[in-house]
Structure 1
Amino acid sequence: MNPLHAPPVVETDVDLRPYNSFALPARARRLIRLRSEADLRWVINHPEWGPVPKFILGGGSNLVLTRDVQALVLKVEVLGRRLWDDGDSWVVEGGAGECWHDFVQWTLQQGAPGLENLSLIPGTVGAAPVQNIGAYGVEVQDRFESLDTVDLMTGRTVTLDRAGCRFGYRDSVFKQHLKDRSVILRVRFRLPKSWRPELGYLDLQRAAEQAGVAEPTAQQVADWVCAIRRAKLPDPAQIGNAGSFFKNPVVSEAVCREVIARDPHLVHYALPDGRYKLAAGWLIDACGWKGKSIGGAGVYEKQALVLVNRGDARGGEVLTLAQAIQASVLARFGVVLEAEPVVV
């Protein structure tokens, strides 16, 4: 251990409501804030804290807490932003604890566009590749360069490229093989200088038409994305939620045709591989769930894909509501909805 490094404080019996965007009641038996790589190495090498089970917590925006957390909570708060010129691209780097939206806005201020379609997504930079966040035609994997992560078992720092992260639809190796085994410290994105706006989604096309702008700037696209998201999604600071609760199911052409036969108004999108992505929010709304509640957990009135905390919800109520919705969609359409948030 570095004798010059001041060790982090081990906090006890920590209220986790401020650290999950659903604002669900739960407590952490022990919590350590990681503000540097040295903090993490102190934990790994510590005779008491090194061997114990650990739970990695970022911004808590993709989390449903149904109970207190007995594992040692490692709250990642590593900051830092960098940008450098790499020929035909800009490379931007963010500490894992940086607020994602603030980081996106910073890249635009630096004249490095490319992440604007991902504006206003809650969470941290470190959580973005874990979830492979995406919106309005862009996913993290489309702009990803590499990240630095530390193995909690060996203490080794490893740099992973796109292939190493094994990105999938709202998925990565960090939700599978490396779950709670690896802590991300820094993430880098490659943003080509030959930038063109991504306006494939109808909402963005309408925004461009309404503004009378044929060739928008990246900041204009970011502003439109923010306005669209604010109109559809509740602010977690006002109403507890975890954003889109279910993944849009991806099905075969045959299954898509079966669902359309039941309801020709199905909202769906063709994918390059011949499969179809179905709009989960539409499926839920068609089953009559919009605005409904179970206990303190409810379905948001403006967007059926979002589950909310009405003010006093517990994690078990959110989970019960989600399971009831899944059962309804399966019974009516024969389609399985998969939840996005991690349930603890």
Structure 2
Amino acid sequence: MDVMTNVPLKQYTTMKLGGETRYMVAVNSASDVVTLYRNARKENLPIFVLGGGSNVITRDETFEGIILLNKIEGFEVVADNDDTTDIKIGAGEVWDEVVERAVGLGLQGIEAMSGIPGTAGAAPVQNVGAYGQEIADTLVSLEAYDSKTDSIVTISADECDFSYRNSIFRDSQKGRYCILNITLRLNKAEPRPPFYASLQKYIEDNDIREVNLSVIRVAVLNIRSEKLPDPAEIPSAGSFFKNALIEKWQLEQLQKEYSDVPNYAMSDGRYKVPTGWLIDRAGLKGFASHGMRVYEKNALVLVNESATGYGDLAAIREQIIQTVYDKFGIRIEQEPLELSL
């Protein structure tokens, strides 16, 4: 393993902000991970695991520890029957390439998550999802290094305690595990309607008569390209805020003034309201401050136009959160993780 020192973190995150890390190490295997953690423990150095850097915000202070770049590869069929196929995927695999390969194999379950940036190992951390699918729907289990017990463990989907954009990996057990691989169970059936509303609209608007996995993948990629900036061209972290989860009485209050408020019933009795809608209705689409801007095509996205530090991002974030709260009484939350110093 090669150790890099004093590495600018903005080169490894899509928001292009942040200070330096004292050390950075790329790992390619489970044994690399175990060795790195044991050496770090001897030196009393914290470790932060980084994949594609598309859902991480870094601060300006130097991280006095080790950034572990997860580069573990792998894509292996481990079980197969007439209805389903289980695939074990290395945590360092590019997520969209995983989706592309699954679609190419005629396997259904993650095609609507096409175009999501980042790595396979990051997918369970925030229970990534899009257009009616999320990783919790297909994950069977994952293997991870447990820094608490200094061992490699298998964690079932149930043990991940998935909820909307959340899991134990960014909540109760944050920082404890380094995910090594994930196993997904995908099915061999063709996709069937009803599809997620915006996906269904695209299909109807484009007069698509025959829908298969490849059609859905292309549709999702086209929808995303219209709504989300390419981080390679415009620095951003994708959707910066989680969609709001509110109680029924809050929804009823909203509907008194905004009869057109979009909402989706959740299994726990709450309702999901698109935060992009809230930000837009608060008059903030296109709003610019401190070198940051609310993206004109999607109010859920913050783009970095000329910001030079974390303070710039924090300032506009708090302005948006407060404005939305003052108007609707709903406190929205940041979606990207922050590097713990």
Shorter-normalised TM-score: what interval? over 0.9
What residue is the counterpart of 2:36 in the other structure? 43
What residue is the counterpart of 1:237 in the other structure? 232
- Between the aligned partners of 1:107 and 1:188, the Cα distance in structure 2 is 13
What residue is the counterpart of 2:47 in the other structure? 54
1:171 to 2:166 alignment: yes
- Between the aligned partners of 1:337 and 1:316, the Cα distance in structure 2 is 19
Q: Contact 2:37/2:47 (CA < 8 Å) preserved in 1?
A: no
Structure 1 residues 119 and 47: alpha-carbon distance in aligned structure 2, compared to 1, 3 A threshold? closer
Q: Contact 2:40/2:46 (CA < 8 Å) preserved in 1?
A: no
1:16 to 2:16 alignment: no
After TM superposition, give the deviation of residue 178 of structure 1 in Å. 2.3
1:148 to 2:167 alignment: no
The 3-state SS of whatever aligns with 2:186 is strand
Gaps of 5+ in 1: 1-7
After TM superposition, give the deviation of residue 324 of structure 1 in Å. 0.9
- Between the aligned partners of 2:33 and 2:40, the Cα distance in structure 1 is 13
- Between the aligned partners of 2:266 and 2:36, the Cα distance in structure 1 is 44
- Between the aligned partners of 1:200 and 1:277, the Cα distance in structure 2 is 17
- Between the aligned partners of 2:110 and 2:225, the Cα distance in structure 1 is 18
What residue is the counterpart of 1:80 in the other structure? 74
- Between the aligned partners of 2:18 and 2:39, the Cα distance in structure 1 is 30
1:299 to 294, 300, 304: 294
What residue is the counterpart of 1:341 in the other structure? 336
Q: Contact 2:120/2:182 (CA < 8 Å) preserved in 1?
A: yes
Gaps of 5+ in 2: none
The 3-state SS of whatever aligns with 1:301 is coil
Letter aligned with residue 143 of structure 2: D
What residue is the counterpart of 2:205 in the other structure? 210
TM-score w.r.t. the length of structure 1 is 0.93
Which stretches of structure 1, 4 residues or longer, exceed 6 Å deviation after superposition? Answer: none
Deviations 1:42-101 (A, max 9, x none): 213327656421111111111111223222211111111112442221112211111101
- Between the aligned partners of 1:332 and 1:262, the Cα distance in structure 2 is 11
Q: Contact 2:74/2:89 (CA < 8 Å) preserved in 1?
A: yes
Q: CA RMSD in A?
A: 1.7
The 3-state SS of whatever aligns with 1:254 is helix
Q: Contact 1:197/1:221 (CA < 8 Å) preserved in 2?
A: no
- Between the aligned partners of 1:222 and 1:11, the Cα distance in structure 2 is 38
Q: Contact 2:148/2:176 (CA < 8 Å) preserved in 1?
A: yes
Q: Contact 1:117/1:198 (CA < 8 Å) preserved in 2?
A: no
TM-score w.r.t. the length of structure 2 is 0.94
- Between the aligned partners of 2:44 and 2:338, the Cα distance in structure 1 is 24
- Between the aligned partners of 1:108 and 1:50, the Cα distance in structure 2 is 45
Q: Which moved more, 1:46-55 or 1:133-142?
A: 46-55
Q: Which moved more, 1:234-243 or 1:271-280?
A: 271-280
- Between the aligned partners of 2:200 and 2:75, the Cα distance in structure 1 is 32
Deviations 1:255-293 (A, max 9, x none): 101112232232222234432111100100111111111
Deviations 1:188-216 (A, max 9, x none): 11012234246532221122223333441
- Between the aligned partners of 1:77 and 1:52, the Cα distance in structure 2 is 21
What residue is the counterpart of 1:308 in the other structure? 303
Q: Contact 2:106/2:188 (CA < 8 Å) preserved in 1?
A: no
Structure 1 residues 251 and 312: alpha-carbon distance in aligned structure 2, compared to 1, 3 A threshold? closer
The 3-state SS of whatever aligns with 1:75 is strand
What residue is the counterpart of 2:183 in the other structure? 188
- Between the aligned partners of 2:262 and 2:118, the Cα distance in structure 1 is 28
1:32 to 8, 25, 32: 25
Once the two structures are superposed, the pairs formed by residues 264-343 of structure 1 within 5 Å of their partners are: 264-343=259-338
